[in-house]
Structure 1
Amino acid sequence: MKAIVMSSTGAPDVLQLQEVPTPQIKSQTEILIKVKAAGINPVDTKIRSRGTFYPEQKAAILGCDGAGIVEAVGAEVKKFKVGDEVYYCAGGLGKPDTGNYAEYAVVEEYLVAPKPKSITFAEAASAPLVLITAWEALYDRALLKAGQKALIHAGTGGVGHVAIQLAKIRGAEVCTTVSSQDKARLARQFGADYPILYTQTDFSAAALEWTEGKGVDVAFDTVGGKTFFDTVPAVRVYGDLVTILEPDGSKGTLKVARNRNLRISLELMLTPALMGLREAQEHQTEILSQCGTWIDEGKLNIHLSQTYPLADAVEAHKQVETGSTTGKVALVMD
């Protein structure tokens, strides 16, 4: 099969299109999937530039997110049959015989969910990691409730645009940071009540004004750095602040957060995969199943801004690394 192989760390051009052996089913609960599309996430570019989670392996196929058609199933697979359309977040972290920048992938059944019928394979492949991340951050960490107010950073980004929608599904009001009027309009399409142009306005002050000085109940930081610390004053006393990045102590202190008794949560959706936490992985698959239902019901939209052929993975990585992409980017195999 054709696959994009990373044989060393470095710039995007370390990604090379190669012929490699097609992975084979080794467990009776595995599924062989003909991959139709693979989502590209910032974690892919970080792994490419810094190294995989399995440094003893010399070559790797990247890509955590995939969507495709079931080609074969193990003897004990119960939920899927040949020909089923599926999507999933599995592999792509450097472990041998995994990764979705390829024409085929083998995935355990418990990691696979039915693909939403109303969207394309490319849209479906763009969804899993960001859906799980936003769900875990807002629903599992912050315990977001109906009637609460949330601040979501980077509301037109991959995680941000689905986080807005999940917050609205839960019944919350949402303000979000964006960099331009065009992105403000797009954020409103996703359901944001109040887009804040952070390039022109102090977002923390704007959020406080929006909440009549109380602060938001929940803040979701997808940017990190100084933004994390600047968000603290915008959160109400005893509120929740969730971040997907490790707070950088050189950018600020937690003194104000402590004084406000904030509950600070860290969100890394890759933890279950890296630690082999089966129950947590099954929960993530349930998230995909529920989100798939909402997508088909028209309650949730995946914004796919651009697709590239598999052979153009280098260009796709360059695009993601600009940091200015709205929504998601995907590779398509046909």
Structure 2
Amino acid sequence: MKAIVMTQPGGPEVLKLKQISEPKIKADTELLVRLKAAGVNPIDTKLRSRGTFYPEKMPAILGCDGAGVVEAGGKGVEKFQVGDEVYFCDGGLGDETGNYAEFTVVDEKFVSKKPQSLSFAEAGAAPLVVITAWESLYDRGKLQPGQRVLIHAGAGGVGHVAIQLAKLQGADVATTVSPENADFVRQLGADLVIDYKQINFVQRVLDWTDGEGVDLAFDTVGKDTFFKTIEAVKLYGDLVTILEPDTNLGNLKEARKRNLRIGLELMLTPMLQGLVDEQKDQAKILQQCARLIDEGKLKVHVNHVYPLAEAMKAHQNLEAGGMTGKFVLTMD
């Protein structure tokens, strides 16, 4: 099969299209999936540039997100049949084969039926971002109807899903974006759109909340944005981030004074720690999101589709920043 193989850490040029052996089913509950699409995520570019979590197992195939068709299953498979269209988030961290390839093997426990209304490219873009946004808002942040939430980088892959999930929960949403993306996030339901390049987002949020601050802030940017956001959250509020706070750029003194609950979200934890039940729960999130998608209540925006052979170009453009939605690789 054709696959994008990474033999060493480095720039996008280390991603090479090669012909390698097709993966084989080894466990009774595994599926062989003919991949049709794979999402391209920031974790992929980070692993490519700095090395995977398992450097001793090089070469590696990146890509956590996958969508495709079941080609075969182990004798213990119960939920899927040959020909089923599926999507999932599994592999691609350097241990198990990722989804920048024509085939992959994945346990059925971690797989969901693809939303019927989505193309394979759209389905391949969805898993990591919908799981991240869902866990951040609903599990870490405990978002409730009627609350106010600030979502940073609302036009991005995770951010644009988070806006929609927050609105589905009955929350009022403020989001920070570049001015060229203002209309995009308004169409997703954002109530307050903040041009972070021109406006002090903390003051704008305080004005919006009559000086109180939001119930929940969701940081997808990190760096000093995380520490600045503390002052935009109400007393006893929640601040969830998908990035590790850099204590060289600030401290948590103000967060402590406000008695904030800090949530650290890493949707990769089940894969990294081998937590089967937790990864099964993530598949259930995909099932629920598939229903929302097919009901027209949730959309995943695909910015650009690249053929598998152009993975290097996809990484280059993702690292350039400023994009809306997701980049996707397709295998046809």
Task: Tell me, yes or no, whether TM beats 0.5.
Answer: yes
Q: Give the match for residue 122 of structure 2.
A: 123
| SS class of match (2:57) | coil
Cα deviation, residue 253, structure 1: 1.2
Amino acid in structure 2 at the alignment position of 1:24: K
Deviation per residue, 1:284-303 (Å, 9 max, x gap) = 00000000000000000000
Q: Give the match for residue 144 of structure 1.
A: 143
1:220 correspondence with 2:211? no
| SS class of match (2:329) | strand
Amino acid in structure 2 at the alignment position of 1:153: H
CA distance in 2, matches of 1:191, 1:329: 22
| SS class of match (2:121) | helix
TM-score, normalising length: structure 1: 0.99
CA distance in 2, matches of 1:174, 1:58: 43
Q: What value does the CA root-mean-square deviation take over the aligned residues?
A: 0.6
% same residue:
62
Deviation per residue, 1:261-319 (Å, 9 max, x gap) = 00001000000000011111011000000000000000000000001000000000001
CA distance in 1, matches of 2:188, 2:159: 10
| SS class of match (2:145) | coil
Q: Give the match for residue 18 of structure 1.
A: 18
Amino acid in structure 2 at the alignment position of 1:294: L
CA distance in 2, matches of 1:134, 1:6: 28
Q: Give the match for residue 271 of structure 1.
A: 269
- Alignment of structure 1 residues 285-324 onto 2, 5 Å: 285-324=283-322
Cα deviation, residue 58, structure 1: 2.0
Which of residues 257, 260, 263 in structure 2 aligns to 1:259?
257
Amino acid in structure 1 at the alignment position of 2:187: Q
Amino acid in structure 2 at the alignment position of 1:249: T
| SS class of match (2:55) | coil
Cα deviation, residue 211, structure 1: 0.6
Amino acid in structure 2 at the alignment position of 1:166: L
Q: Give the match for residue 173 of structure 2.
A: 174
Which of residues 241, 251, 254 in structure 2 aligns to 1:243?
241
Q: Give the match for residue 54 of structure 1.
A: 54
Which 4+ runs in 1 deviate beyond 3 A? none
CA distance in 1, matches of 2:278, 2:169: 22
Q: Give the match for residue 157 of structure 1.
A: 156
Which ranges in structure 1 are unaligned for 5 or more consecutive residues? none
Deviates more, 1:316-325 or 1:148-157: 316-325
| SS class of match (2:173) | strand
Cα deviation, residue 210, structure 1: 0.6
Cα deviation, residue 178, structure 1: 0.4
Q: What number of residue pairs does the alignment pair up? A: 332
